[in-house]
Amino acid sequence: MPRYIFITGGVVSSLGKGLGAAALASLLQARGYSVRLRKLDPYLNVDPGTMSPTQHGEVFVTDDGAETDLDLGHYERFTGVHAKRTDNVTTGRIYSDVLAKERRGDYLGATIQVIPHVTDAIKAFVLSNHDDEDFILCEIGGTVGDIESLPFLEAIRQIGNELGRESTCYLHVTLIPYIAAAGELKTKPTQHSVKELQSVGIQPDILLCRTEHPLPAEQRAKIGLFCNIRQSAVVLARDVSNIYEVPLAYHDEGLDSEVVRHFGLADTTPDLSHWKRICHVVANPEGEVNIAIVGKYTSLQDSYKSLGEALVHGGIANGVKVNIDWIDSELFEQEDAAIQSLQHVGGILVPGGFGERGSEGKIRAVRFAREQNIPYFGICFGMQMAVLETARNLADMPDAGSSEFGDTKLSLVGLMTEWTVGNETLQRSADDDLGGTMRLGAYECHLTPGSTASRLYGEQVISERHRHRYEVNIAYRDQLEAAGMVISGLSPDGSLPEIVERADHPFFVAVQFHPELKSKPFDPHPLFTGFVAASMEKSRLV
């Protein structure tokens, strides 16, 4: 039977619960244990798929097609364990399932209440659909004290009672602020946060305290005394220079030792060699390269969280630091001279997005990259804009557009209404719910031998994750290839273009899928490795 670790947060949001959960899981892996991580989100959306990236950050997509919280990206990057649809649930999903059961009569006429029906549904989610891993780590979103999180806290309280303390551990992430005027670290917010948690019947076993300064022993003892835990269970989480130092920093503070001690396990020495290697490369780069990301959600960098990390991974693979210049694509629509800001970057990346806003600016960025021989990497929407740029400027199709933007004279990009997954035919229409019109999850792609993509992957058949509604129309393949754009990756049935590239360019690759979702610091994605290498070469020539 697995052991359960529940991670809650207090005082303020954005303390790094997800990162802490991922780092702890990686430390347990380093001790030889198997892990699975889950996220319980208290918002009422069924999933984050229809939420604006500038509100909630990116939507992370799993192999099995779930649209999930971005923290699942941290989980995968730190552990290498592929997340599943059953690893993320929201209040909206829980209530939706409970109400569906009530409508079917599954509750036999009972009055439906938060306790026990909603909490039972949460408990069933936490306790089921695992593969007998040694540890299940469950992060509860939000902050203790929020109304929305109360059913989740009640559910994990009940699990603790039912399984016993030998099978459950409560880890509470909190804040110890530094008051500059007083020159002191203040423990009172942590004390109040723990008291709030205790008020719902949960006594934390370990405190992970975020702080910018060292915590004197007497203050650590004070926290332990007032929060009813031993002093060694007060673990400091100091700020670090990059997120891949977090497992090493938490190990040095004794977090993993405290966890195995709680469960009565042997305190063995973990193998942290690959984390040390990664941190050494990040701290001692052999050079640096500047890459511009031309997107429409650049006001919140969490909108492209996996993308930024994948570029860091590409830098690790090449032994260099990647400096990212975040540029709003609308700037290129408003100011003709603005495009010249791309002149001195080593590479240009146009990421995914939805809607017409900023699209013309992205097309301008693609054209600039093509004409100036600057390495270009397009992802999802970035591939569609690359196709439109070639069609308009090189293939004598000036009216080429996308049906996503409304009526167009020449729909080179359009909504696919039918495609095949294995032996199943899936259908959709423009009138479906937004979440129902997506091509989501992992799909196979067949590569053209000798292409750039084939060389980078080192294989002919790959699997990548998708999240999009619109597809490039294969009917225009001949015109595009006559203009120098090669379709080098196709769906197994040959109907959906997955990768395009140009042979007359130092590096011009655009893909319909999201390769950033599968990149990890210890296993960088080959497309990002190749793009960063080409950008380094361009920088040397400037």
Extract the runs of DSSP E, i.e. beta strands, from 287-342: 288-295, 321-328
CA distance 220 to 209: 10
Token digits of residue 108: 């036999």
**How far is 19 from 398, CA to CA, in rounded Å?**
47
Active site residue 380: yes
CA distance 250 to 223: 18
If phi > 0 it is left, if psi is from -120 to 50 it is alpha, else beta; for residue 127 that is: alpha
Residues 452-458: contacts with CB within 8 Å, 24+ apart?
452/488, 452/501, 452/507, 452/509, 452/530, 453/488, 453/489, 453/499, 453/501, 453/509, 453/511, 453/527, 454/488, 456/526, 456/527, 456/529, 456/530, 457/526, 457/527, 458/526
Residue 292: which residues within 8 A CB-CB, separation 6 or more?
324, 325, 327, 341, 342, 345, 347, 348, 349, 365
Which one is catalytic: 172, 466, 514, 525?
514
Question: Structure tokens of 458?
Answer: 């080192």
Q: Which candidate in 196, 313, 516, 525 is catalytic?
A: 516
* The one-letter amino acid at 358: G
- Among 66, 29, 73, which residue's Cα sits nearest to residue 310? 73
Report whether 57 contacts 305 (CB < 8 A).
yes
Active site annotation includes 74? no
- Out of 380, 466, 468, 525, the active site residue is 380
Cβ 181 vs Cβ 215: under 8 Å: no
d(CA 46, CA 436): 13
116 upstream amide cis, omega within 30 of 0: yes
Enumerate the active-site residues.
380, 514, 516
